[in-house]
Amino acid sequence: MTKQEYQKNLISIFKSLIGREVFHNSFGLGKIIGVENKKCIVQYRRYEEKKVMSMEKFFNYHEPLLDIIDKIDVLRCEYELSQRKTITKKEDVVEDEKEVDNKVTFDDVIGLDNVKELINQMVVYPFKYKEIYKVFKRSSGGGILLYGAPGTGKTMIAKAIANEINAKFFSIQCSDIVSKWYGESEKKIKDLFCEARRYNRSIIFFDEFDSLGTNRENNNSNAVNRVVSELLAQMDGFEINKNTVLLIASTNKPWNIDSALLRSGRFNKKIYIDLPNEESRYNLLLHEMNGLPIDNVNYSFIAKKLDGYSSADVVEACNVTKDIAIKKSILQNKIIPITQNDFIESLSQVSSTIVKKELEKLKNFSLQEK
């Protein structure tokens, strides 16, 4: 392509953008309303008169046309996001839970000591010991995939990481991103990463990631292909970004995620969150019942009875036990302590929500990753 052909194509691109707001300055967003003699006629929101902008600065023969189009999109994206002090509307993709759960730390995550240590080494320590990591040329950022059965604490871990490093936390329900309108899902993803990069430290947490990063080999949908491609493009941009963006995703079905997303360099660590062992269940019982009126409860016995339960199941059993004691206290018009029998009764009402076949698949996936 000659320089003249390049410029001709570039002018065609700008003509295709007529009617779109793609530039910004102190007058706000500017809409291209015409293209004449290598110049754009721009109408800004806050200025009545039309402005003329030369396209000469875009006539860099060495820069691919697609890169210029991306630049225009980024300009508009950055302007729009800079005008939004908070993103709290229900219809928006970004949901900031940082203020809601700002007290969640690793101390609140019962058990999973090996997982916490691994995350500390990968994420927390690089911030706490910057100079040491700088000497050894190691940095933070990248992606972590947390996979395991429902209710094992994956979301809590993500929130704890954000608080440990004082990062802006974006909690995303992947189902909220998927849209029936052409190109809308990709735009939401691009806007999300654009917003996250505005902060010195930020964490994007995708819950049920398999519903967004679906394996393209098992799905011929063009929409799925576009969404996965956009995710790949954004994740590859981690290393060149001056600010630290950490991507954390959780899933119950890691085998459904596109293999390109699972490669090293995108999700640097894939961490299996197993069911709590007996010691963790024991400590979780102590944590949940701390400060309550208790009468001779054998927590070791109860912890054994809860074998095969997730952390969420254990908490639910504790809540049902509390309800039993509350009902007794109301009937007798005095505080009745929680007893061993109350726990036994609660176990008859609360069963494990874990599906054994799915748990086996998760364990097998974990073995393959080692």
Domain that holds residue 283: 278-353
- Say if residue 50 is in the same domain as residue 111: no
Same domain, 111 and 217: yes
* pLDDT computed for residue 351 by the predictor: 93
Would residue 100 count as lying in a domain? no
Residues 242 and 284 in one domain: no
Q: What is the pLDDT of residue 320?
A: 95
Are 164 and 204 in a shared domain? yes
Which of 272, 302, 332 is the endpoint of a domain? 272
**Do residues 46 and 185 both lie within one domain?**
no
158 & 139 share domain = yes
Total count of domains within the chain: 3
Distance CA 16, CA 52 (A): 17
CB count, 10 Å around CB of 7? 17
Task: Give the three-class secondary structure for 126.
Answer: helix
Q: Indicate whether 360 belongs to any domain.
A: no
Q: Give the pLDDT of residue 295.
A: 92
| Whether 39 contacts 23, CB under 8 Å | no
Residue 96 lies in a domain: no
Task: Confirm whether 364 is domain-assigned.
Answer: no
Do 147 and 215 fall into the same domain? yes
Per the domain annotation, does 12 fall within a domain? yes
CATH code at 330? 1.10.8.60
3 state DSSP class of 1: coil
- Tell me, yes or no, whether 166 and 295 share the same domain: no
Q: State the pLDDT at residue 221.
A: 62
Residue 147: give its domain's CATH number. Answer: 3.40.50.300
How many C-alpha atoms does 326 have within 13 Å on its Cβ side?
7
Q: Tokens 């954004």 appear where?
A: 234
C-alpha neighbours within 13 Å on the C-beta side of residue 112: 27
Q: What does 294-331 look like in DSSP terms, one character per residue?
A: EES--HHHHHHHTTT--HHHHHHHHHHHHHHHHHHHHH
Q: Are 116 and 106 in contact (CB under 8 A)?
A: yes
Residue 307 lies in a domain: yes
Whether 132 and 179 map to the same domain: the answer is: yes
Specify whether 292 is located in the same domain as 218. no
Which of these, 201, 205, 269, 188, lies nearest to 241 by C-alpha position?
201
Cβ neighbours of residue 253 closer than 8 Å, sequence gap 6 or more: 210, 358
| 195 shares a domain with 135 | yes
**CA-atom Rg of the chain in angstroms:** 26
Domain annotation covers residue 75: yes
235 and 316 within one domain: no
DSSP code at position 96: B
Q: Name the domain boundary from 272, 296, 327.
A: 272
Q: How far apart are CA 306 and CA 309, in angstroms?
A: 6
Query: pLDDT tens string for the chain (370 positions)?
Result: 566 766 777 777 677 667 766 665 545 567 777 777 777 777 765 555 566 666 665 555 454 544 454 445 444 444 444 444 333 333 444 444 444 455 788 888 888 888 888 888 888 888 888 889 889 887 765 688 999 999 998 988 988 888 888 888 888 877 667 655 566 778 888 888 888 888 888 888 888 888 777 766 666 666 667 777 887 777 775 544 455 778 888 999 898 888 888 876 678 788 999 999 999 999 999 999 999 999 989 999 999 999 999 999 999 999 999 999 999 999 999 999 999 999 999 999 999 999 999 999 999 988 887 6
Residue 11, helix vs strand vs coil = helix
- 101 lies in a domain? no
What is the Cα–Cα distance from 209 to 248, expressed in whole angstroms? 9
